[in-house]
Structure 1
């Protein structure tokens, strides 16, 4: 398995570098980054998916711009905690990351974090709190979901998950 759940590998996370959070969808990839202290997640952008080689070129630009040292991938578990149908796609993406050390680094630290309800939570937030139109929501929802995923992982590590 190229990636492990955050609960298993939190103690091995790289220190003093930013982490990148990814919400891997079929059409888009939401991207967020942390600060180097691993306290705050910030939404960065949405990458429109085409094919993997083009997707990683776009991600590579962000990785270089922000000096990324590790990755947290949203892991779409079912509500009962079992692996959802998209978990295999996330594992495949993580495996492909290992094949591109020029972009993701040698032996990249890749953690999987439960993303149940991340998009739903951000959609509810945008509707109830921010009150923006459906068109504008579609433009930002994926990067906000990535932020939600990454912030959850950071909070877990800060609270003693290491």
Structure 2
């Protein structure tokens, strides 16, 4: 089963997908949030190319495990994207995924400017991998 992860931000959406066996997550692309939210052609083509069966969206949580201040906005947007794509939406804790993505990219020698377009898709792949691992453990 192919899953597509969306790390929904105010300006950008990081996108990652799993392999067809549902075991490995890979970063794919970052699109402007406006294109994903309006179900623009660029995003529709990704849906057509990867044929996901589910959208996995990051839910911002506080370090205490409570819903973060952006959670409601992101949940509403994610459900709207799911309706437009005719796909079910599942949510996963995205706590620290951006921090971990930045650490990984820094280790690869990227500076803040070079990271800007990559952090969101790497973060999406990290929380998608967590979701995939949890499913395979069941």
TM-score where L is the length of structure 2: 0.92
CA RMSD of aligned residues (A): 1.4
Candidates 40, 45, 49, aligned match of 1:65: 49
Candidates 57, 73, 95, aligned match of 1:116: 95
Q: Secondary structure at the match of 2:101?
A: helix
Partner of 1:126 in structure 2?
105
Going from structure 1 to structure 2, the CA distance change for 1:99 and 1:21 (only over 3 Å counts) comes to: closer
Larger Rg: 1
Shift of 1:125: 1.7
Aligned pair count?
Answer: 136
Shift of 1:76: 0.3
Shift of 1:152: 0.8
Note the residue ranges of structure 2 that are not aligned, 5 or more in a row. Answer: none
State the distance in 2 between where 1:99 and 1:30 align: 19
Shift of 1:90: 1.5
Equivalent residue runs for 1:1-162 within 5 Å: 17-50=1-34, 52-53=37-38, 56-57=39-40, 58-100=42-84, 104-105=85-86, 108-127=87-106, 129-160=107-138
Going from structure 1 to structure 2, the CA distance change for 1:98 and 1:137 (only over 3 Å counts) comes to: closer
Residues 63-113 of structure 1, C-alpha deviation per residue, up to 9 Å, x if partnerless? Answer: 00111111100010111111111110121113313542xxx12xx221100
State the distance in 2 between where 1:143 and 1:69 align: 19
Note the residue ranges of structure 1 that are not aligned, 5 or more in a row. Answer: 1-16
